Amino acid sequence: MFGIGLPEMFIIAVVAFIFIGPDKLPGVLRSIGKVLLN
């Protein structure tokens, strides 16, 4: 997907976890999932 492999996705997830924080992460991931599915 978009030329991004599994290692890059893992790094992006770790960076997102650090910047967003564990409290807001589930809601943000849900929003991203809705955008990608539409």
Whether 19 shows a pLDDT value over 70: the answer reads: yes
This prediction's pTM: 0.48
DSSP conformation class of 7: H
Q: Which residues contact 25 (CB under 8 A, 6 or more apart)?
A: 16, 17
Alpha-carbon radius of gyration of the chain: 11
Give the pLDDT confidence score for residue 1 in this predicted structure: 54
Residue-wise pLDDT for 26-38, tens only, equals 888 888 888 878 8
Rounded to whole angstroms, the Cα distance separating 31 from 29 reads: 5
